[in-house]
């Protein structure tokens, strides 16, 4: 009398077979080890701080413009006390995140902005200029100043504004990489400086700054490049496992190894279950391994983070099952893998370029996964904050995983 077949024992045997097959695939085994080692190492070299200070160059120095305007302002009734207050005014202190660098020459400032000259500032505030491509020694006890935008005022700027002269021209120099909104902000700064330096009030009353900020104000709390890349890296690790899993499935289908498996007491359901467990926990294990190395798990976010990692692993396993069942050869399997994974990468750009994602981006199945990862790892999102994304991800998970199981089951039955 034969003993009854234990389904867990059958699944365990299939999992052991999966592990052996994975270890024999030298290409994907090498790529897996490379990802697990290279990514954490590269991550350590990413900047972990954010400099929110905008360096603004001006020419001529504010002091020389004030000295030139003293006689004009006195003739207009300015008192010595008012002139003293004007001399003591520091525009950079009144503009949050603004560092003012003063140049004696407009030509020098222009060359520093375009990169042909370098500006170095010593501990006592002295500005030292040197050629960008010369062999000159770097100034001692000096720090290089990165200047990407500068404003050239006329020498008589304050006098002309104070007397109401028409046609006062101010030139704004900017590097090609400076965003257009920054250039516009500098034009606004010039207008404000004109009123301030001339001793006049702005012709409009601005509302309280806090009432103008919609959503979460990240001023002073910007994410570093390392923080931005952390959820992106975890997502990429999950996605990369799709290639190796799809390769394993495709190999078994093309070589008809699966038919040999089904001659044993194993059923199709055992085969599919083993594939699901192996693919899911390989992705989840690698993602968790990398996450532990690069940091990000906290006592508050680990339940949500592990949940979304698990959902992402199951989702990508479903994609791998579908792709593996669709390819007719290695090139076909690779083509289908690229065809499905490249669109799934699109939402990751929301990590590097934060903002409101377009509707078509939010429709992509991986958007709620990366959205929840970003919220959990970077912004302390709670279960309540992520409920909508998790529900949306669950819908896509069922669709993609179901499609993968259905495609592989039909493929196996047709062999």
Whole-number pLDDT of residue 305? 93
Position 217 confidence tier, pLDDT thresholds 50, 70, 90: very low
Q: Is 236 helix (H, G, I), strand (E, B) or coil?
A: helix
355 within domain boundaries? yes
Backbone angles phi and psi of 414, in degrees to 5: -85, -10
Residue 25 makes CB contacts below 8 A (sequence gap 6+) with: 244, 247, 248, 251
pLDDT in tens, 157-186: 878 777 777 777 888 888 777 777 777 777
Do the beta carbons of residue 347 and residue 366 sit within 8 Å? yes
* 255 and 160 within one domain: no
Lowest model confidence (mean pLDDT) among 3-7, 71-75, 155-159, 382-386: 3-7
Whether residue 397 has pLDDT greater than 90:
yes
* 227 and 165 within one domain: no
399 within domain boundaries? yes
Bridge partners (DSSP) listed for residue 100: 56
Q: How many domains does the chain have?
A: 2
Mean pLDDT over each residue of the chain, to the nearest integer: 79
Please, what is the Cα angle at 122 between 118 and 124, to 5 degrees? 145
Distance between CA atoms of 106 and 171, rounded to whole angstroms?
10
Domain boundary among 212, 239, 272: 212
pLDDT, greater one: 9 or 93: 9
pLDDT, greater one: 158 or 355: 158
* 127 and 29 within one domain: no
Q: Which helix (H) or strand (E) holds 259?
A: helix 257-263
2 within domain boundaries? no
* 328 and 308 within one domain: yes
230 within domain boundaries? yes
217 within domain boundaries? no
Q: How many CB atoms lie within 10 A of CB 305?
A: 24
Rounded percentage of the chain residues whose pLDDT exceeds 90: 13
Q: How many CB atoms lie within 10 A of CB 280?
A: 22
- Rounded average pLDDT over 298-306: 90
Whole-number pLDDT of residue 211? 46
Whole-number pLDDT of residue 210? 47
Distance between CA atoms of 55 and 120, rounded to whole angstroms?
13
Segments forming the whole domain that contains residue 328: 7-47+223-414
Do the beta carbons of residue 22 and residue 248 sit within 8 Å? yes
Whole-number pLDDT of residue 195? 65
Q: How many residues does the chain have?
A: 415
Residue 289 makes CB contacts below 8 A (sequence gap 6+) with: 36
Whole-number pLDDT of residue 212? 47
* 274 and 196 within one domain: no
* 235 and 366 within one domain: yes
174 within domain boundaries? yes
Give the distance from CA 241 to its chain's centroid.
22
Tracing tokens 């700054």 back to the chain, one arrives at 209
User: Sheet containing 142-145: which strands, arranged edge to edge?
Assistant: 127-131, 117-122, 142-145
1 within domain boundaries? no
158 within domain boundaries? yes
Rounded percentage of the chain residues whose pLDDT exceeds 70: 82
Sequential DSSP letters for 138-183 = PPTTEEEE---EEEE--TTHHHHHHTT-S----EEEE-TTS-HHHH
Distance between CA atoms of 166 and 168, rounded to whole angstroms?
6
pLDDT in tens, 26-37: 777 887 888 888
* 389 and 251 within one domain: yes
């Amino acid at each position: 009398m034969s003993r009854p077949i234990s389904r867990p024992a059958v699944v365990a045997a299939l999992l052991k077979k999966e592990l052996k097959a994975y270890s024999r695939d030298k290409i994907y085994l090498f790529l897996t080890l490379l990802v697990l080692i290279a990514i954490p190492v590269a991550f350590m070299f990413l900047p972990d701080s954010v400099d929110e200070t905008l360096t603004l160059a001006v020419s001529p120095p504010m002091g020389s413009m004030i000295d030139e305007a003293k006689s004009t302002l006195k003739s207009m009734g300015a008192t010595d006390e008012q002139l003293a207050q004007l001399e003591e005014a520091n525009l950079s202190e009144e503009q949050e995140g603004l560092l003012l660098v003063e140049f004696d020459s407009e030509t020098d400032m222009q060359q520093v902005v375009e990169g042909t000259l370098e500006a170095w500032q010593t501990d006592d505030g002295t500005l030292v200029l040197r050629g960008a491509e010369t062999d000159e020694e770097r100034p001692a006890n000096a720090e290089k100043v990165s200047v990407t935008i500068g404003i050239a005022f006329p020498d008589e700027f304050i006098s002309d504004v104070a007397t109401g002269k028409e046609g006062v021209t101010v030139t704004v120099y900017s590097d090609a990489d400076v965003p257009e909104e920054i250039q516009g902000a500098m034009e606004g700064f010039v207008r404000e400086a004109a009123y301030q330096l001339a001793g006049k009030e702005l012709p409009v009353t601005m509302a309280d700054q806090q009432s103008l900020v919609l959503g979460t104000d990240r001023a002073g709390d910007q994410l570093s490049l390392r923080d931005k890349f952390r959820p992106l890296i975890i997502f990429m690790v999950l996605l990369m496992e799709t290639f190796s899993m799809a390769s394993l499935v495709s190999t078994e289908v093309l070589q008809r190894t699966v038919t040999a498996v089904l001659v044993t007491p194993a059923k199709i359901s055992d085969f599919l279950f083993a594939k699901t467990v192996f693919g899911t926990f390989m992705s989840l294990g690698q993602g968790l391994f990398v996450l532990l190395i690069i940091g990000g798990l906290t006592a508050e976010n680990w339940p949500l983070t592990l949940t979304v990692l698990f959902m992402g692993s199951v989702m990508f396993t479903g994609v791998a099952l579908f792709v593996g069942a669709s390819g007719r050869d290695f090139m076909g399997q690779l083509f289908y893998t690229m065809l499905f994974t490249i669109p799934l990468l699109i939402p990751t750009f929301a990590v590097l370029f934060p903002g409101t994602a377009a509707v078509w981006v939010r429709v992509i199945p991986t958007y709620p996964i990366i959205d929840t990862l970003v919220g959990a790892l970077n912004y302390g999102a709670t279960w309540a904050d992520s409920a909508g994304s998790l529900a949306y991800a669950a819908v896509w998970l069922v669709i993609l995983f179901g499609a993968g199981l259905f495609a592989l089951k039909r493929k196996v039955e047709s062999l």
